[in-house]
Structures are given as C-alpha cells and as structure tokens.
Amino acid sequence: MADIEGTHETKEFYLDVPAKNRAFFLKGSGALDWGLQNRLARIFSPASGKTVMLAIDHGYFQGPTTGLERVDVNIVPLAPYADALMLTRGILRSTIPSSCRNAIVLRASGGPSILKELSNEQIALDIEDAVRLNACAVAVQVFVGGEFETQSIHNLTRLVDAGNRYGVAVLGVTAVGKTLTRDAKYLRLACRICAELGAHVVKTYFCPEGFETVAASCPVPLVMAGGKKLPELDALKMASNAVEQGASGVDMGRNIFQSDAPTAMIQAVGKVVHEGLKPEHAYDFYQTLKNEKKVETLAGR
Ligand code: 5RP
C-alpha cells in the first residue's frame, strides 16, 4: 500500500491561470502526434527552430568516400557539434557510440551503387529497426524526373505510412541526377511533391535564384543539402543565404567533413544556422578555431 501519511490536505489549482495551448514551433507540423513532434524537436533546436544535421550516409552508394574512410576517427569527434546525424544503420551500430546525444536520421532507401542507375532504389530499412535504434527520422531519396521516379515516390509514401504509425518522421531527399537541373522551378516541383505525399521534412539543394520560392511553397520544414565541396567561405555564404531565405537549417556532408578543419567548420556552420552570424564573421571564427588547433598540434597537445 502507498504510504499516505503526511499527505498535504491543502491544494492549489490555480483557478485563475488558464491552461496554455502551445503552438508547435515548426512550420506545417502543428497537427502531428506528440511522439512525432518530440522527435522533430530533437532534430530541430526549439530555441532557434533550426538544425545542423551532419550527413555521413554517402557510403550507402559510394563506399568509403573521401573524409569517410574512418568514421570512428574523422566523424565521431564532430558529433557533439551537430544537432542530428544522418547515416546508415550499419555505421550507426558499428561505429557511433550509443551514448551520443544526437538525433538520429537513418538512411532508409538504397540499392544501386554508383556503378548503376541511382534512381532504382528501394526501401532498405524496416521501420521497427528504426524504432529499435531510437531514430527520430528516416530518410528516403526521391528522384522526381528520374528513370525510377514512381518507384522512389512509392518508397516515400510507404515510409510515411510506417513513420506515421510509429511516430517517426520522414525526411524526403530530393535527388538531382546527371540530367536533372537544380533551378528553382525544378526544386519547387520536387520539394512540393515530397511534402504533398507526406514527408515531414524535405531536404533539397540551394539555388542562387529563387530559393525563397522553393522554401515558401514547401509547407513543411526544408533543410539545405550541402553538395560538392566548396571553399569554406562560399559554403558558409550558401548556408546563410538558405537560412535567410526560409530554410530551417542544413544537412551538410562534404562541406564539413572534407574541410581543411572539419571541427572548426561544423562550429562555424552552427554559428550561421543557429545564431544568424554573417558568413564573413563565421569564416573568421572558423579561421581562429583552425589556427588554435594548429598551435595545439604543433605543441603536441
Ligand atoms: C545523398 C544524400 C546525402 O546525405 C547528402 O547529399 C550528402 O551531403 P552532401 O551533399 O552535403 O555531401 O542525401 O543523396
């Protein structure tokens, strides 16, 4: 029997304080269930409404690409500076410490390697394994205009059904193949299709002209993909422009892990995304951290 001795008789019900109805902080996500919102609030910082997601899933079709040869050596030290890690379940189980605090976004589509037609993907992960791995979201590539367009969209819709059943978010990733353009007209089409078909978050590339229309016409949070390696200042400018024009953060890979100083770069990206620091100032911050590291290395620390 519960010990009820000493229970206070006086109670305070705050009758003059109306219960608060809090709106969820992410665009287009107010009608989602508690578990889904809670998982999204682990990917996106409730303070800034933004995310720095570190994409390291390239191996699922490219093998050990430059910078990802040894995830244990090169990537694990970056994790504390990322809100979320986007990766495969193989790398997660084999290499990422289970004590990590990051939100996990699991790659859930795959099949062809770089030697074959990339749009020929299928679902490559059971939603129950995503739940077992405490994933906040699963990511699926959508090849609008690609050879296997319908199949990739079917992958998305199957995962959305499974994700809604278990409260796991789905990140629709708009792929751009060799023949697909990256202009605003194409990106608006691809992003909107992902959102209309149920993606909770959409990832897409930045385009210099009209990105704000891509973000505005996507009813759910949009995160910017990094793309090929750029000089650090250019990558910071791109991230800054994307966020200023409506992106809810970034999902960057090569521009972080292929940087001359990845730990400095991910922190500089964080300054741009979460604090709105101007890219030139974030670049100074990057240089300072990079030089400090150089001094430490020379001193053998
Ligand atoms: C593959 C992906 C990757 O996660 C992403 O594109 C890689 O990031 P980056 O382009 O910044 O290296 O979604 O299609």
pLDDT reported for residue 181: 78
Q: Is the CB of 68 under 6 A from ligand 1?
A: no
Q: Residue 8 C-alpha to ligand 1 middle, in angstroms?
A: 58
Q: Is 203 a catalytic residue?
A: yes
Q: Is the CB of 173 under 6 A from ligand 1?
A: yes
Can you say whether the dihedral through the CA atoms of 239, 102, 109, 213 is positive or negative? negative
Q: Cα dihedral angle (225, 230, 235, 241), rounded to 10 degrees?
A: -70
> Which atom in ligand 1 lies closest to the alpha carbon of residue 257?
12
Q: Is the CB of 142 under 6 A from ligand 1?
A: no
Q: Is the CB of 141 under 6 A from ligand 1?
A: yes
Q: What is the largest CA-CA distance in the chain?
A: 75
Quick one: what percent of the chain has pLDDT higher than 90?
Answer: 85
Helices assigned H by DSSP within 139-250: 149-166, 184-196, 211-216, 232-244
* Range 262-290 average pLDDT: 98
* Range 67-94 average pLDDT: 97
> Which atom in ligand 1 lies closest to the alpha carbon of residue 256?
11
Q: What would the pLDDT profile of 166-184 be if each residue is shown by its tens digit?
A: 999 999 999 876 667 789 9
The two structure tokens encoding residue 92 = 């997660």
Residue 224 — φ and ψ, nearest 5°?
-90, 130
Q: What would the pLDDT profile of 105-133 be if each residue is shown by its tens digit?
A: 999 999 898 988 888 999 999 999 999 99
pLDDT reported for residue 185: 95
Paired with 139 in beta bridges are 107, 171
**Most informative mutation of 173, 176, 265 for ligand 1 (most atoms within 8 A of CB):** 173
Q: 247 vs 13, 158, 201, 225, CA distance in Å?
A: 42, 26, 11, 10
Paired with 173 in beta bridges are 141, 203
pLDDT reported for residue 8: 74
Average pLDDT, the chain: 94
Helices assigned H by DSSP within 96-204: 127-132, 149-166, 184-196
Would you identify the CATH topology of the domain 34-260?
TIM Barrel (3.20.20)
Q: 181 vs 44, 139, 201, 207, 210, CA distance in Å?
A: 29, 22, 21, 10, 14
Q: What is the distance of C-alpha 234 from the center of its chain?
A: 20
**pLDDT category, 242, cuts 50, 70, 90?**
very high
pTM of the model: 0.94
CA distance 283 to 118: 35
3-state secondary structure of 161: helix
Minimal CA–CA distance to 229: which of 258, 250, 266? 258
Report which protein residue has its CA nearest ligand 1's atom 8: 253
